[in-house]
Structure 1
């Protein structure tokens, strides 16, 4: 069993490594692997009770499989069935076949080939999904292919975890074990899914009625670990039960809340799992066989790239998109480590082969962000058709806007962008809309709307859209990071061009204004003001007075509307950011530190907190000055993030 000093060592080293790796924009998983390598038995050997740590880390795989089950959606699978069960299936099968053939040629068994092929076929869902989000490429053609293949790879882990344990047996026993495992899996899945679908919604409704975050979390752990234990008792893996639990909960209305609640457990335990994987890495052995490791790395990247390129082309992708998809998916992934851990436990492959593949997977994950970063340059360098298509696209866009001046550039043609365009048409104002969804662009353009395919976050696209001649640019999508990229390009191309940005609420308002936005429109606040306008009109308040009130509210950056008092019901709302600024009221009782002191003396603003109002003898004074002196019985209303509010409350009340 792992001792407390061992666990403290693991936690301390993990915290430091994650901070370092995040600071250089590398995945935290690599930090965990490095920690495990350094403190493991093959390096400094600082860990006692390795078996206990490994047993604890197995729960990381359980919660990871549970998260995959939560993402399992039949409508989503059906919508992407051609990519998932076509391209994804062929990618995994082709990788298995090639690896099995190569290892068979060097004298290893086909069982070892299938097991290692499964590990090498995987790509990193966590890393690639994050990169697709950051680069706004989820809806791009290669983005859909990458997500479809990743989804199938995640699903393929389940049968691999069932089949691989039988590979250590004799051929006769192996066939029996595989058949029995599959039969058990079908029976358990059928019973659980048939009855579970009916029971899970009702059970979670009963639990949710308690309105207790603690009770809800305990129930999630009970369901997850309970089903994992059930499948383990049936002779299957813990991971399969967790996967089934995720599937069951994914069909309920509580899916998103469960996903948020389980994330801390999953991330911490997965971190421990990757630490134990790092402990498996025999650095002296790897360094002594560096040519072999580099050969495996080159073969991994080269073979997966070639297979993915050919398969993507087979499914109708252009040379450029196929090359881009292949570059994204050629590196290894975290599930490869899960399968390697199982192989190491069963001693399916020689130690040297396991170490070489383990080291190659680590190096490939280090290279993955770099490959993605340079993927566009590589594609434009080697795929002539891509360069030609990009040039034609920009030329077509520039040609359509060449004679247009003082027009409006609309970035994003979703619902908000289309509403904007219709207002422009009604007022006979010229506009050019840019969007990355090819289907939406095709249908809208066919209907005669002036929308073109293009990434507004790219400088050359904005140039082709005539930003230098435009009168205003509208960012209609609510993505702060992408909006900042657009603002940066606009500032360089035409610094005096007013840019109006849409955001969901006031959380990013200041950030976008600092980035150069002329106007920031927080959706939630503007909707509240429209509701207030209707209410005040019916209450008899003159329309001119209401409009002037709203004008003043906008002039001061919606100060009067910022923040909210959070209640118990908000705890279950996954749409709320837990670090979002909120309102909090504090009663100054006799003996409170703030009594007799001014707001300026207390300097709570240094803590990142703003005093929005003070209520004294039922009279509410908004925006008090620094000279305001507090009295016993005052109620102070604060605005800030939860941590800052706690610090401010302590300063106001300390005795």
Structure 2
């Protein structure tokens, strides 16, 4: 029996090499993404030794993109998407135009035709779905306003590229200067058909998918089979993405995103997200491996100056344009910098576009090689952009905290802070940090007992709902300066830290303990290490969910002995 099959060898060699080199990268304090990309270069046709099947690698990578976008959709809603339309739509369009013009300019300098420069510029204008989402997830920004804007921006870019891929073959003759160029009607018809298909897909998902997908998953969940539930999640994510591409001609990523967004309205969304996580991460690694396989390292020596110019457009041309657009719409520097860093790379749509451009005779092979090399370099450097962003934002927060402390210590009347915190009048109340799955149960019980309650929460939808229900809420992160003082923890009967992140919880507990040595503080944890961490910072009681479940189960059968 022949064990050396292309599929098996591509998966095994790709994952093993990515693991080894990712581990080395982590060891030398570089992003593991660099290790994954180098693994792809070593498996590619431009380096000696084993050469993996590029087509198989690309298809495996596409599965990773589908699962990743499905997972993002599970944390999104139509309301979230529409809430950022005023910045995402014009912002993405203007940024695409700026990057495309820069690409056309570079193409002209290199002696290419206008059509070649246009394809080149468009390829440099669109960011990679996988890279952007990985960066946001690592920093827990997907559910933040910055994350929603970045994802909305990405979706607009995807839709623009879908239109481009449809329109480009129709106008190829015109761009090449051939006499049989496309007429206005021949240009308008493909665009109208594509827009009609996208609209049809969205309507289908909102009318049919919104009813069928949650109902199907609930039915499977009631069978009690975890295996069938996991299979149902994968079948829905991959099936909807594939069906959207075949029937409606939209991208796999867009189809998977809408499938996840529809399912997000179900209470099973969190369980569905957990079921897809292991495979999603594995296939995302194969995406980076497949990118590395496309790159010829020798281009660094053959085309140093054009490559440098290409990378400059990707890293700085797009980022500066995005920063200016976001600031123009009145958003703070933190949001503008996050969007800029998110877009400072290119990926999957760029590869598809340059391949089509070369096939149509618009873009020379030299242009494709520059885009592929620019992609791997930008993906390698993107984590450095985010590391720099983290440092800049941390310094900015520290300066803001010092400024706030100085303003509070100054007894003279001065200008108020930009967004003054509302200070509660409550005393002998309970301060609840976080209103998620645990916090909402605690909140409901306290209100039933008529216990004075103040909630600290930073999710806009949750804040609005609590305010409508008459609950006093302070919006923001409880670890931020002056937040706990505004909640009057000094006069509270207790502080309940219900957020799942023990590191952030430790910061909150430490600040609360500094304000009051006698305040009862109760926090939640998921491990013995987290319990020790929270107690070290001053928590009186730390509750681990697994222990309490075990106690309750033993209590039901009359057993004891759980500490």
Q: Above 0.5 in TM-score?
A: yes
Q: RMSD over aligned Cα, in angstroms?
A: 5.0
For 2:288 and 2:245, locate their aligned partners in 1 and report how far apart those are by CA, in whole Å: 22
Match for residue 153 of structure 2?
152
Match for residue 279 of structure 1?
293
Match of 1:306 among 309, 320, 333: 320
Match for residue 365 of structure 1?
382
Q: CA deviation at 1:103?
A: 2.2
* Structure 2 SS opposite 1:282: coil
Match of 2:221 among 181, 205, 208: 208
Match of 2:193 among 180, 204, 223: 180
For 2:542 and 2:322, locate their aligned partners in 1 and report how far apart those are by CA, in whole Å: 43
For 2:478 and 2:214, locate their aligned partners in 1 and report how far apart those are by CA, in whole Å: 42
Match for residue 64 of structure 2?
60
Written as runs of structure 1 = structure 2, the 5 A alignment for 1:567-582 is none
For 1:408 and 1:291, locate their aligned partners in 2 and report how far apart those are by CA, in whole Å: 68
Unpaired segments ≥5 residues, structure 2: 109-115, 175-181, 412-426
Match for residue 50 of structure 1?
54
Q: CA deviation at 1:95?
A: 1.3
For 2:536 and 2:102, locate their aligned partners in 1 and report how far apart those are by CA, in whole Å: 54
Match of 2:41 among 37, 44, 60: 37
Q: Which has the larger radius of gyration?
A: 1
Written as runs of structure 1 = structure 2, the 5 A alignment for 1:423-438 is none
Match for residue 652 of structure 1?
none
* Structure 1 SS opposite 2:550: coil
Q: CA deviation at 1:481?
A: 1.0
* Structure 1 SS opposite 2:127: helix
For 1:522 and 1:99, locate their aligned partners in 2 and report how far apart those are by CA, in whole Å: 52
Match for residue 131 of structure 1?
139
For 1:182 and 1:439, locate their aligned partners in 2 and report how far apart those are by CA, in whole Å: 31
Q: CA deviation at 1:276?
A: 0.5
For 2:158 and 2:26, locate their aligned partners in 1 and report how far apart those are by CA, in whole Å: 28
Which deviations, in whole Å up to 9, do the C-alpha atoms of 1:485-533 show, x marking residues without a partner?
A: 4566789x899887834216776663335534351243869xxxxxxxx
Q: CA deviation at 1:96?
A: 0.9
Matched, 1:481 2:503: yes
Unpaired segments ≥5 residues, structure 1: 381-385, 401-406, 526-558, 567-582, 584-611, 624-637, 640-655
Q: CA deviation at 1:285?
A: 0.8
Match for residue 343 of structure 1?
353
Q: CA deviation at 1:260?
A: 1.9
Structure 2 length as normaliser, TM-score? 0.71
For 2:49 and 2:85, locate their aligned partners in 1 and report how far apart those are by CA, in whole Å: 44
* Structure 1 SS opposite 2:541: strand
Q: CA deviation at 1:412?
A: 6.9
For 2:552 and 2:345, locate their aligned partners in 1 and report how far apart those are by CA, in whole Å: 42
* Structure 2 SS opposite 1:119: coil
Match for residue 101 of structure 2?
101
Match for residue 119 of structure 1?
127
* Structure 1 SS opposite 2:334: helix
Match for residue 196 of structure 1?
209
For 1:338 and 1:146, locate their aligned partners in 2 and report how far apart those are by CA, in whole Å: 20
Matched, 1:73 2:94: no
Q: CA deviation at 1:326?
A: 2.7
* Structure 2 SS opposite 1:563: helix
Greater relative contact order (CA < 8 Å, ≥ 6 in sequence): 2
Q: Structure 1 residues 411 and 188, CA, compared in 2 at 3 Å: closer, same or farther?
A: closer
Written as runs of structure 1 = structure 2, the 5 A alignment for 1:524-543 is none
Match for residue 246 of structure 1?
260
1:477–1:503 CA contact under 8 A, matched in 2: yes
Q: Structure 1 residues 3 and 234, CA, compared in 2 at 3 Å: closer, same or farther?
A: closer
Q: CA deviation at 1:290?
A: 4.2
Q: CA deviation at 1:472?
A: 11
Match of 2:405 among 394, 400, 403: 394
1:304–1:330 CA contact under 8 A, matched in 2: yes
For 2:228 and 2:338, locate their aligned partners in 1 and report how far apart those are by CA, in whole Å: 41
Which deviations, in whole Å up to 9, do the C-alpha atoms of 1:514-569 show, x marking residues without a partner?
A: 534351243869xxxxxxxxxxxxxxxxxxxxxxxxxxxxxxxxx8x573688xxx
Written as runs of structure 1 = structure 2, the 5 A alignment for 1:200-599 is 200-234=213-247, 236-237=249-250, 239=252, 240-317=254-331, 321=332, 323-332=333-342, 336-348=346-358, 349=363, 350-376=367-393, 379=396, 390-398=401-409, 457=479, 474=495, 476-478=497-499, 479-486=501-508, 500-503=521-524, 510-513=531-534, 515-522=536-543, 561=548, 563=550
Q: Structure 1 residues 509 and 234, CA, compared in 2 at 3 Å: closer, same or farther?
A: closer
For 1:310 and 1:339, locate their aligned partners in 2 and report how far apart those are by CA, in whole Å: 24
* Structure 2 SS opposite 1:522: strand
Q: State the aligned residue count.
A: 504
Match for residue 87 of structure 2?
87
Structure 1 length as normaliser, TM-score? 0.62
2:502–2:534 CA contact under 8 A, matched in 1: no
2:306–2:370 CA contact under 8 A, matched in 1: no
For 1:283 and 1:208, locate their aligned partners in 2 and report how far apart those are by CA, in whole Å: 49
1:95–1:307 CA contact under 8 A, matched in 2: yes
Q: CA deviation at 1:62?
A: 2.6
* Structure 1 SS opposite 2:523: strand
For 2:136 and 2:463, locate their aligned partners in 1 and report how far apart those are by CA, in whole Å: 26
Match of 2:8 among 4, 20, 41: 4
Q: CA deviation at 1:278?
A: 1.1
* Structure 2 SS opposite 1:331: helix
For 2:289 and 2:503, locate their aligned partners in 1 and report how far apart those are by CA, in whole Å: 32
2:37–2:376 CA contact under 8 A, matched in 1: no
Q: Structure 1 residues 411 and 456, CA, compared in 2 at 3 Å: closer, same or farther?
A: farther
Q: CA deviation at 1:275?
A: 0.8
* Structure 2 SS opposite 1:234: helix
